[in-house]
Amino acid sequence: MSAIVVTGTDTEIGKTVFSAGLTAALNATYLKPMQSGQEEETDSQIVTRLSGRPSLPEGYLLQLPASPHLSAEAEGVTIDPDTLDLPRVDGVLVAEGAGGMMVPLNREVLYLDLFARWGAPVILCARTELGTINHTLLSLQALRSAGCEVVGVAFIGEAEEAVEKTICQFGKVAHLGRLPMIDGLAPETLATAFDKHIDLDTIKKAIQL
């Protein structure tokens, strides 16, 4: 089995849409280890709808839209990281984190600790908006300090070539492409945008496909 982790510099930056595109492109299975907050669709349902690929059940499905440790505490639940090892699947597994990697799972463990334990290569999704240089470079530093292998940065949003180049230069990291905002988001439009804009060859090499 090959596994790859998708995380982001922050919440609501488009990493679930990116994860859906990646899951479809790799003919993979998707996993969201925990979901905090349930609106019309969970992230797993969004990815399955946009990718046409299966999603595994969440380890924890919580109601409050907040950091997982706060959502869990509100329901009298303690998240046990030992229950969140990556499951074995046929083919590739795409695992998506919640928010950024410094999000707490409980009062002792961060998502970053979980990524480090998994040992799978990581794609960092980043906005192209103001502030992204600081957020992205700090996130890269945190991932590397924890011993995580960073495949590269995937940008999401309008083109900001100078900003993207600066991040990759100072972060010494591969530019995996930029996924634009997609009008009429659907499986077909996402697949087309992903194929056009994202460097799948570098990603496949990282997971030895």
Per-residue pLDDT tens digits of the chain, which is 209 residues long:
799 999 999 988 999 999 999 999 999 999 999 998 877 789 999 999 999 999 999 999 998 889 999 999 999 999 999 999 999 999 999 999 988 899 999 999 999 999 999 999 999 999 999 899 999 999 999 999 999 999 999 999 999 999 999 999 999 999 999 999 999 999 999 999 999 999 999 999 999 87
CA distance 152 to 190: 20
Q: Which residues are catalytic?
A: 32
Check residue 44 and give its pLDDT.
Answer: 95
**Contact (Cβ atoms closer than 8 angstroms) between residue 94 and residue 30:** yes
Contact 69, 106 (CB under 8 A): yes
Is there a contact between 59 and 83 (Cβ–Cβ < 8 Å)? yes
Is residue 69 within 8 Å of residue 79, measured between CB atoms?
yes
Which residues neighbour 145 within 8 Å (Cβ) at sequence distance 6 or greater?
Answer: none
pLDDT at 38: 72
Instruction: List all residues 6 or more positions away from 206 whose beta carbon is below 8 Å from its beta carbon.
Output: 4, 121, 149, 151
- Residue 53, pLDDT score: 98
User: To which residue do tokens 């996993």 refer?
Assistant: 31
* Beta-strand runs (E) in the chain: 2-8, 29-31, 34-36, 60-62, 92-100, 122-127, 150-156, 175-179
CA 98 to chain centre: 8
Tokens of 99: 């928010």
Q: What is the DSSP string of 51-105?
A: H-S-BPPPSEEESSSS-HHHHHHHTT----GGG-PPPP-SSEEEEEEEEETT-BS
